[in-house]
């Protein structure tokens, strides 16, 4: 039976979830009935009782780590007492989303796939490890993998040779209006959707870059009760949409505006039936400022009125965006200019009539945003250092990130929802080498604050990078002078700076670095934006130990890789 096909995803930023959603739409168009869930949300018993064909799509985060919504699943399947034939009835295929510039490329899906096969799974179709750095991108890998998967499924289920693209897929979520408002949620459903949620109050929200600097970096302090965290841990914050954007979103569909403040009954979002107004559902839960993805358009085009020439043209355009016919078209329309869902609905509103019942299928949920904690452990206070995302696109529109725009607007006394996420970082007594360009300083500040507070003599070496000594030198007011804290500041735009980049400071001090690593068991902690920085910093450490110990290039690379494997080289990049 095709209802025993299960699609599970592990997703940190939403990419793996998007491919899983799109795949479900594709399988439904072939008259199959797959179940979709995150890895952790799927009842594990059903893998044994209700699953014959299993499809897992998972990304890799950080240094070969699994996304947060897949860790419980991995913990379960790694139990040693599980029988080797537990999943002998299951046919499995997997798709990994990764970046080959990282040493542990697609590590998460490799671990999941290998363990599931150890537990008895049979191959449904060849597994795939997609590389976003390749010329064809993840889309190219996905298309080939999907083709093989459909061919494999056709051996087990009666499937038409062509998908049915005309029938509107039934909504996954059950949404309807309720007559009485006796069960109306106060504002949001956050506390029912997320475990371990706490309420905090903003103490201060201070800009720590100069007013004339291009980037606004904030230092935000929040007070709460019974907080428990350690250096290296992260805080998840739960932003919401601005009222003006919510109103504009409702106005794009006048039929929504008429019922915006009436109680709405929602099922399948969380356990049981929940009641909330449409306005609050949009404000607190729907990411209307996110970039629309392929699955969004694959549903949306069905609601475009094509009875006029203009409507027909718009329906064809939306339909094209929702397929792989020309991926470049979707990229140019949505991704390149960073166009939002709100802007898309506004642009096509003249010919669109979207039923409220499809709103949760169309619009992704607002995901909590994670920030490295910037304060030493405290039960009553937590601190965040975050850059406000604001830029101008190729269509000359200013873009602002949903969460950082919300952060910027926070005022003293405002309430926020938060949760703490533990990291694997552990403080040892050996020296610590810290590399932190820009807001990568946040977890380093937590670590340094804690060690200095303990009056420890542990040696700390901080390589901090920014543009200007007078504009974005974030750390200048963080600490008093201390004998065991050695700071190397690098200013990339100041002509008189001793070091331009953190790599320059590391290689200039290769004797110190080599001695710390090879003779003093030092630990390296690198934090900052992903992309070139982590890779170039790692290559610089390779060069430093190579010079210090007259190693060959290969031996130096192997040594740094061993530091990673042994937990002495940690990266936290976003």
- Binding residues for FMN are 11-16, 59-62, 97-106, 132
d(CA 249, CA 376): 41
* Both structure tokens of 456: 């420890």
Q: Are 465 and 556 in contact (CB under 8 A)?
A: no
d(CA 359, CA 125): 34
Q: Are 363 and 378 in contact (CB under 8 A)?
A: no
Q: Are 49 and 90 in contact (CB under 8 A)?
A: no
Token pair 């998840």: residue: 236
Q: What is the separation of C-alpha 465 from the centre of its chain, rounded to a whole number of angstroms?
A: 25
End-to-end Cα separation, the chain, in angstroms: 42
Residue 431 DSSP SS3: coil
- Helix axis angle for 532-549 and 510-519, nearest 10°, is 80
Q: Which helix (H) or strand (E) holds 98?
A: strand 91-98
Residue list, annotated binding site for NADP(+): 439, 492-493, 499-503
CA-nearest of 443, 462, 433 to 525 is 433
CA-nearest of 202, 517, 248 to 383 is 202
3-state SS of 265-321 is EEECCCCCEEEEEHHHHHHHHECCCCCCCHHHHHHHHHHECCCCHHHHHHHHHHHHH
Question: How many residues appear in the chain?
Answer: 574
Residue list, annotated binding site for FAD: 338, 369-372, 401-404, 574
- Could you list the beta-strand ranges (E) of 248-313: 263-267, 273-277
Residue 45 DSSP SS3: helix
Q: Which helix (H) or strand (E) holds 372?
A: strand 369-372
Q: Which helix (H) or strand (E) holds 441?
A: helix 441-453
Token pair 């936290």: residue: 572
- Could you list the beta-strand ranges (E) of 268-355: 273-277
C-alpha pair distances (Å), 114 with each of 43, 73, 74, 467: 21, 14, 11, 45
- Helix axis angle for 532-549 and 553-565, nearest 10°, is 120
Beta bridge partners, 184, equal 275
φ, ψ for residue 532, nearest 5 deg: -70, -35
Residue list, annotated binding site: 11-16, 59-62, 97-106, 132, 338, 369-372, 401-404, 439, 492-493, 499-503, 574
């Amino acid at each position: 039976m095709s209802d025993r096909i299960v699609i599970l995803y592990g997703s940190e930023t939403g990419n793996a979830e998007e491919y899983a959603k799109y795949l479900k739409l594709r399988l439904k168009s072939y008259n199959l009935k797959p179940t979709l869930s995150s890895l952790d949300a799927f009842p594990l018993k059903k893998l044994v009782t209700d699953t014959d064909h299993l499809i897992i799509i998972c990304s890799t985060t950080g240094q070969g780590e699994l996304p947060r919504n897949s860790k419980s699943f991995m913990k379960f399947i790694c139990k040693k007492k599980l029988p080797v034939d537990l999943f002998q009835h299951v046919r499995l295929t997997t798709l990994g989303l990764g970046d080959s510039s990282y040493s542990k490329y697609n590590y998460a899906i490799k671990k999941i796939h290998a363990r599931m096969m150890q537990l008895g799974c049979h191959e449904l179709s060849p597994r795939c490890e997609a590389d976003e750095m390749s010329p064809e991108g993840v889309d190219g890998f996905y298309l080939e993998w999907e083709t093989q998967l459909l061919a494999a499924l056709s051996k087990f289920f009666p499937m038409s040779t062509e998908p049915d693209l005309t029938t509107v897929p039934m909504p996954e979520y059950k949404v309807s209006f309720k007559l009485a408002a006796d069960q109306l949620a106060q504002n949001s459903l956050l506390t029912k959707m997320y475990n371990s949620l706490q309420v905090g109050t903003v103490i201060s929200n201070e800009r720590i870059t100069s007013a004339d600097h291009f980037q606004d970096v904030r230092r935000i302090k929040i007070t709460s009760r019974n907080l428990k965290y350690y250096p290296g841990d992260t805080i998840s914050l739960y932003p919401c949409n601005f009222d003006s954007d919510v109103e504009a979103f409702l106005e794009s569909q006048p039929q929504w505006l008429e019922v915006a403040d009436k109680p709405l009954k929602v099922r399948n979002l969380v356990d049981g039936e929940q009641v909330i107004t449409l306005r609050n559902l949009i404000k607190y839960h729907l990411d209307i400022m996110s970039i629309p993805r392929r699955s969004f358009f694959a549903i949306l085009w069905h609601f475009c009125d094509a009875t006029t020439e203009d409507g027909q043209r718009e329906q064809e355009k939306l339909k094209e965006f929702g397929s792989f016919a020309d991926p470049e078209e979707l990229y140019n329309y949505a991704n390149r200019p960073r166009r939002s869902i709100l802007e898309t609905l506004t642009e096509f509103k003249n010919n669109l009539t979207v039923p409220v019942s499809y709103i949760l299928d169309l619009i992704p949920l607002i995901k909590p945003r994670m920030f490295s904690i910037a304060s030493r452990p405290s039960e009553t206070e937590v601190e965040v250092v975050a850059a406000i995302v604001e830029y101008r696109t190729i269509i000359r529109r200013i873009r602002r990130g949903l969460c950082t725009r919300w952060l910027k607007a926070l005022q003293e006394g405002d309430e926020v929802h938060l949760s703490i996420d533990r990291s694997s970082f552990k403080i040892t007594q050996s020296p610590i080498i810290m590399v932190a360009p820009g807001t990568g300083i946040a977890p380093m500040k937590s670590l340094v604050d804690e060690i200095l507070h303990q009056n420890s003599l542990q040696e700390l070496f901080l390589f901090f990078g920014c543009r200007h000594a007078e504009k974005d030198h974030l750390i200048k007011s963080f600490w008093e002078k201390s004998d065991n804290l050695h700071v190397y500041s690098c200013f990339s735009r100041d002509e008189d700076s001793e070091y331009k980049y953190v790599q320059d400071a590391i290689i200039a001090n290769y004797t110190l670095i080599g001695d710390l690593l090879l003779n003093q068991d030092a630990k390296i902690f690198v934090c900052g934006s992903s992309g070139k920085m982590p890779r170039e910093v790692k290559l610089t450490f390779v060069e430093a130990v190579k010079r210090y110990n007259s190693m060959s290039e290969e031996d130096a690379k192997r040594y740094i890789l061993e530091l990673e494997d042994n937990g002495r080289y940690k990266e936290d990049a976003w």
